[in-house]
Amino acid sequence: MKRDLMEGRLICTENTGALLASHLVQSEIGDYDGVADRDFLRTTKLLPYQEKVQERIMELHRRHLGQTPAESDFQILEIARKLEMYGVRFHPAADREGTKINLAVAHMGLQVFQGNTKINTFNWSKIRKLSFKRTRFLIKLHPEVHGPHQDTLEFMMASRDQCKIFWKICVEYHSFFRLFDQPQPKSKAILFTRGSSFRYSGRTQKQLVDYVRENGAKRTPYQRRNSKIRMSARSLASDVPKQSLSFNDSFRAQGSPSSASASFYSSHISSVLPRRELQPQPHPATPNRSPAPPQQQLQLPVQAATPPSPLKEDPVKAASPSHFAFQDALVDSPQHSPFTSKGPSLCMSPSFQMSTLSLPGQASPPLQSPILSEVGSNARLEEDEEGRRKRYPTDKAYFIAKEILTTERTYLKDLEVITVWFRSAVIKENAMPEGLMTLLFSNIDPIYEFHRGFLKELDQRLALWEGRSNAHAKGDYQRIGDVMLRNMCALKEFTSFLQKHDEVLTELEKASKRLKKLETVYKEFELQKVCYLPLNTFLLKPIQRLMHYKLILERLCKHYSPSHRDHDDCKEALKEVAEIATQLQSSLIRLENFQKLTELQRDLIGIENLTAPGREFIREGCLYKLTKKGLQQRMFFLFSDMLLYTSKGVTATNQFKVHGQLPLHGMIVEESENEWSVPHCFTIYSAQRTIVVAASSKVEMGKWIEDLNLAIDMSKKSQEKSSIFLDDGLTDHSNRSSDEVSLEQESEDDMNSSRTSLENQTHHRANTTMHVCWHRNTSVSMSDHSQAVENQLSGYLLRKFKNSNGWQKLWVVFTNFCLFFYKTHQDDFPLASLPLLGYTVSIPEESDSIHKDYVFKLQFKSHVYFFRAESEYTFERYVTCF
C-alpha cells in the first residue's frame, strides 16, 4: 500500500492521500509532535506530491492522538479499500478509432477508462471469449449481449508482449469467476501447437466458496512490526482504544467535501483490549520478511459498542451510479463470514469487515435485468444469532420516533448536497454570481444548521429510549413529543427562508441559462455520484420535510390515547407544523411543477421554453404509436396546453428527441380498439394531425384517456388559449407525416449502428421517471409525484441473497419511486439503485421458502427480491409506501 501510494499507482484525491499519509505517520512515529513530524516527512517520502500537502498531513496527524500502530494500519486499509480505483492497474491501449484509453481487470469485469474516468465495464458473465492477435486484443460477447450488432470488440496495444500479458490476466480472472471446476490441462500436441499454451491453474471462485463453507476460514492473529512510536499518557492509561477520525470529522468540518470516490467512516468500539495489545509487538528484523498472505486478515479483539442488531451487517460491494442504475449489482463479498468463525479469540466486528468497492457489468439489457446478486457468499444471519438479537422497545411510538430519526439522517445528507458539495463546486470554478450565491446559501445554510442540531437531539433521545446511554432510563426518556414540540416551534422562525425557495429555484434556473460557466458546472455536478437526484430536487426537500413531519406526527397522535403523557406535546407539535405546512402548500405545488418542467427541459432535445408561465405538467409515459412501419415505441408528455411525443436518442446522455406536438385546444380522444384491431389503442384527433397510439394495458389506457380529457376540458375553460405552442420552441420541425417517418427511421438506424467502447456510455441519472417509464412500459402523473413525496422512507433493511439463505444488511432510501442502497447511513452516495415503477409488492408465498418474519417481496416479471424489516411497524410502513 505504501509503495502504491508513493509511486502514484493508488489513484485518489490529495485530501485522501494526505489522510492516508497522516495515518502512516501515526503508525510510524506515534502521537503528533511538530518537530518530529517535519523531520520524519523530510526524510521519508510517502506521496509524490508530499510537499504540497505536508501541512495538511500534519494537521490530520494531530487528530490521531492516542491511536495505536495497529489502529493506524487498519485505518489505512479501511480507507484504501473503499477507493474506487483501489487495486486497479492500467494497461494503455487504443480503440478502433485510435482514441487513447486504459484497460483494467477487476472482479466485476473488464473495465475501460479514458484518463481516470471509467466509461465502460464488460461483465465476465457477458464475455464469451478473450483472445489476442499480435497487438490486437479481442473480446467476443455472448449473442444475447450484442444481439444482431457487433459481437467482437477490438483494442490495440503498444506491443505483442503487453497484449499477451494483459490477455493472460484477463483469462485468469474470467476462468476464476466463470468456471465451476478447475480447468484440466490440455494434452500436448505431438508435432505442432497452435496458439498459446497458457491456462488458468488455480481453484475457481465456486471451489473456494464451497471449501470455506465446509471447512471455515482460519484467521491468523496479526502481529505488527516495531515502530518509533510515542504513545500519549491518556492512551497508555486507557483500556479503550480511541475512536478514529471519521471522514466527516476530517473534511466536512472545513466545509469542503473530499472526493466522492472515497467514503470512509470510523467504527464505534467500546470493548476492552488487553493492555499488552496496546504495545508494539517486536520481532526479529529480517530484510526478506514477506507480508502475510491475503487470507490472513487483520484481526482486532474488539466488539461492537452496541449489542447485535437484528439487522446484522454483511459486507457489500459498491456499484458506481455512473452506470445504468438498473444494472447496479450489490455483490456480496466471497470472504468467510465472521459470524461463523471458530476459535478462542474474538473476530473483527462486522463493521470492520473488509469489502471491496465494485462495479457490475454494463452489457445486460437496461431495465430488463435489475440485479441485486451475490457471488457465492456465505455471509448470513446464522440461526444461533437469532437468540442473541438486540431487543428493541416494543412500543409502536418508539418505531415512529425511529422513523423520524432515520428519515432525518437522509434529509440532512440531502441538504449537504447543496450546502457542502454544490457550494464547493461553484466556488472552485468561480461559476456563480455573488448575488445568487448569497441568495442561495443564506436561505439554506440556517436551515441546514438547525437540522444538524435537531438530528443530534433525536439521536440522543432514541439512544436513551433504546437503553444505549442508560440501560435503566424510563419515563421521560421514552417519548418524543417534547423534542418535536420544541423543534417545530423553533422551525417557525425559518418560514421566511422557506418562502424564498421559489425565488431561489427561479433565479438559479435563469442564471444557469444565461451563464455558460454556471451551466457547465451545474451539468457536471449532476453527473457526480453524490447528486443521485436532479439537483433542483434537493432544493424542494426543506418544504417537503415539513409535510413529512406533519404526517408522522399525525400517526403519533393517532397512536397515543388522550391520557398518554406524550399526547399533548405531539398534538401541539402537530398544530405548529400544520400551520407552517398550510402556509407553504401552494408554494410547494408550484415548485414541484417548476422543478419537473426544468428537469424535462434538460432531458428533451428539440424544444425550448418548456417552462413557459402557466404551463403545468400532467403525465409522462410510454405509448406505442402506429406508423407506416407498424407500432413504434414513443415517450409521451402531457402538459396543460399540449401533448409532446418523443423517441429515445442515441446520445451519450440518453436524452429523448422531440418528434412532434399536438395542442390540446380542439383535441378529441376516442377509444379505437375495434377499428384498428390493436389491444388498448385509442385515437387522438387534433387540428394538425391524427395519431393512433396503444398502451401496454387497459389500466394504462384508462389513465391516459382520463388525463387527456381532463386536460382538454381545462384548456377549453381557460380564457387565454395558450399561444406558446411547441412550434415556437421546436428546433426540429416535424409536422408532416412523411418527415416524421424519415426522422424516426433515421433514429432507428442510428440505434443499429455499431458501438465502440467510448460510445456505450450511460446517463448518470437513468433512474429518472422518464427512463423508467420507457423501459417498464408505464406512465406517471403529477399526482403520482405528489404522492411519492408523502411516501419517503429510509432505514436499514436485510436483503436476501439469491442463491443462499443469507441476508445482507443495507441502508435503504426510498424516494422518487426508487430504492437507493448504501452500506451505511453515513455514505455520501448510493452504491446502487432499483426503480420500483412496475414492481409489485407482496408477502412471500409458501413456495418462496422464506421462514422469517417481516419479509416482503418485490417482483417485476422474473426479477424477485426479498427484503426483511426489523419490526412489524417498519414492515407495514415499507409495504404501505411501496
Task: Assess whether pLDDT exceeds 70 at residue 844.
Answer: yes
478 near 465, Cβ under 8 Å? yes
Is the domain of 146 the same as that of 110?
yes
Across 68-92, average pLDDT: 87
Across 747-768, average pLDDT: 42
424 near 525, Cβ under 8 Å? no
Domain end: 751, 776, 801, which one? 776
Domain presence at residue 452: yes
Q: Using 50, 70 and 90 to split pLDDT, how confident is the model at 654? A: low
Is the domain of 172 the same as that of 45?
no
- Spatial distance between the Cα atoms of 191 and 343, rounded to a whole number of angstroms: 55
Across 549-562, average pLDDT: 93
What distances in angstroms separate CA 223 from CA 30, 279, 297, 432, 774, one per listed residue?
Answer: 17, 11, 11, 53, 56
Across 465-494, average pLDDT: 78
Across 289-316, average pLDDT: 38
**Which stretch, 208-222, 396-410, 593-607, 751-765, has highest mean pLDDT?**
396-410
> pLDDT for 326-383, tens place per residue?
333 343 333 333 333 333 332 333 333 333 333 333 333 333 333 344 333 333 443 3
Domain presence at residue 250: no
Is the domain of 645 the same as that of 677?
yes
What distances in angstroms separate CA 755 from CA 95, 321, 392, 652, 700, one per listed residue?
Answer: 11, 22, 54, 11, 34
Is the domain of 545 the same as that of 589?
yes
Is the domain of 589 the same as that of 633?
no
Is the domain of 556 the same as that of 626?
no
Is the domain of 525 the same as that of 656?
no
Domain presence at residue 76: yes
Is the domain of 75 the same as that of 132?
no
With helix as H, strand as E and coil as C, how does 635-680 read? EEEEECCEEEEEEECCCCCCCEEEEEEEECCCCEEEECHHHHCCCC
Domain presence at residue 588: yes
The confidence score (pLDDT) of residue 359 equals: 35
Burial zone of 194 (CB within 10 Å; 0-12 exposed, 13-18 middle, 19+ buried): exposed
Joined grid coordinates for residue 76: 489505512
**Lowest mean per-residue pLDDT among 172-176, 293-297, 714-718:** 293-297
> pLDDT for 204-234, tens place per residue?
777 777 777 777 666 666 566 555 554 444 3
Is the domain of 643 the same as that of 792?
no
Domain presence at residue 528: yes
Is the domain of 672 the same as that of 800?
no
Domain end: 601, 636, 670, which one? 601
Domain presence at residue 346: no
- Give the closest residue to 527 by CA, choosing from 610, 421, 415: 421
The confidence score (pLDDT) of residue 197 equals: 60
The confidence score (pLDDT) of residue 217 equals: 65
DSSP state, 420? I
Q: Which residues pair with 50 in a beta bridge?
A: none
Is the domain of 538 the same as that of 404?
yes
For residue 749, the enclosing domain spans 616-776
Q: Using 50, 70 and 90 to split pLDDT, how confident is the model at 766? A: low
Tell me, what CATH number does 711's domain have? 2.30.29.30
Across 249-270, average pLDDT: 36
* Overall domain count for the chain: 5
> pLDDT for 168-190, tens place per residue?
999 888 888 877 666 565 555 54
pTM of the model: 0.57
Across 225-253, average pLDDT: 41
Tell me, what CATH number does 6's domain have? 1.20.80.10
Task: Assess whether pLDDT exceeds 50 at residue 314.
Answer: no
**Percentage of residues in the chain with pLDDT exceeding 70?**
69
**Lowest mean per-residue pLDDT among 78-92, 119-133, 289-303, 621-635:** 289-303
Tell me, what CATH number does 503's domain have? 1.20.900.10
> pLDDT for 416-447, tens place per residue?
999 999 999 999 999 999 999 999 999 999 99
Domain presence at residue 318: no
Task: Assess whether pLDDT exceeds 80 at residue 536.
Answer: yes
Domain presence at residue 735: yes
Task: Assess whether pLDDT exceeds 50 at residue 788.
Answer: yes
Domain end: 728, 746, 776, which one? 776
Is the domain of 757 the same as that of 789?
no
